[in-house]
Amino acid sequence: MRAMRRLQRFGLVAAAALALCALAPAARADDALPAAVQAALARAGVPPEAFAAVALPLAHDARPWRWQAGRPMQPASSLKVLTSIVALDRLGPNHRGYTELRSAAPVRGELLQGDLVLRGGADPELGVAQFWAMLAELRAKGVREIAGDLVVDRTLFRPARMDLGVPPFDEAPEFPYNVIPDALQLAGALLPIDIESDGGPPRAYTVPALPGVTVASRMVPSARRCRDWDEDWQPAQLERQGSALVIVLRGGFPRGDGQGNGCRVHARLQLIDRQELTERLFRALWSELGGHFAGRVREAAAPPATRLLVRREARPWGEVLRHMNKRSDNAEARLLYLSLGLAAMAAEPEASTAELAARAVRGWLAEHDIDAGGLVLDNGSGLSRSERIAPLTLARALAVSWSGPRAADLQMSLPVLGEEAALGLGASPAAGWARMKSGTLRDVVALAGYARDRAGRPWVLAMMINHAQAQRARGALYALVDELARVGLPAPPAVVGPQGDGP
d(CA 160, CA 182): 6
State the DSSP code for 462. E
Q: Tell me the three state secondary structure of residue 22.
A: coil
CA–CA gap between residue 303 and residue 134 (Å, rounded): 20
pLDDT of residue 5: 35
**pLDDT value at position 458?**
98
Angle at 223 between CA 217 and CA 229, to 5 degrees: 55
Whole-angstrom distance, CA of residue 119 vs CA of residue 102:
7
Model confidence pLDDT, tens digit, residues 144-184: 999 999 999 999 999 999 999 999 999 999 999 999 999 99
pLDDT band at 423 (very low <50, low <70, confident <90, very high): low
Break the chain into its structural domains and give their ranges.
Answer: 4-94+319-486, 97-165+273-314, 191-269
CA torsion sign for 151, 153, 159, 162 is: negative
4-94+319-486: CATH, from 1.10.3720.10, 3.40.710.10, 3.90.1150.10, 3.30.565.10: 3.40.710.10
Q: How far apart are CA 455 and CA 382, in angstroms?
A: 33
From residue 330, give the alpha-carbon distance in Å to each of 98, 304, 347, 383.
19, 32, 28, 7
Length reported for the chain:
503
Residue 440 bridge partners (DSSP) = 445
Tell me which H or E stretch contains 245. Answer: strand 244-254
C-alpha–C-alpha distance, residues 460 and 25, integer Å = 17
| pLDDT at position 19 over 70 | no
Instruction: Cis check for the bond before 208: say yes or no (omega within 30 of 0).
Output: yes
What is the average per-residue pLDDT within 319-334? 98
Average pLDDT, the chain: 91
Give the contacts of 327 (CB within 8 A, at least 6 positions apart). none
pLDDT the model gives residue 199: 85
Q: CA-to-CA distance for 215 and 206, rounded, in angstroms?
A: 7
Above 50 in pLDDT, residue 10? Answer: no
CATH no. of 97-165+273-314: 3.50.80.20
Write out pLDDT tens, residues 453-488.
999 999 999 999 999 999 999 999 999 999 999 999
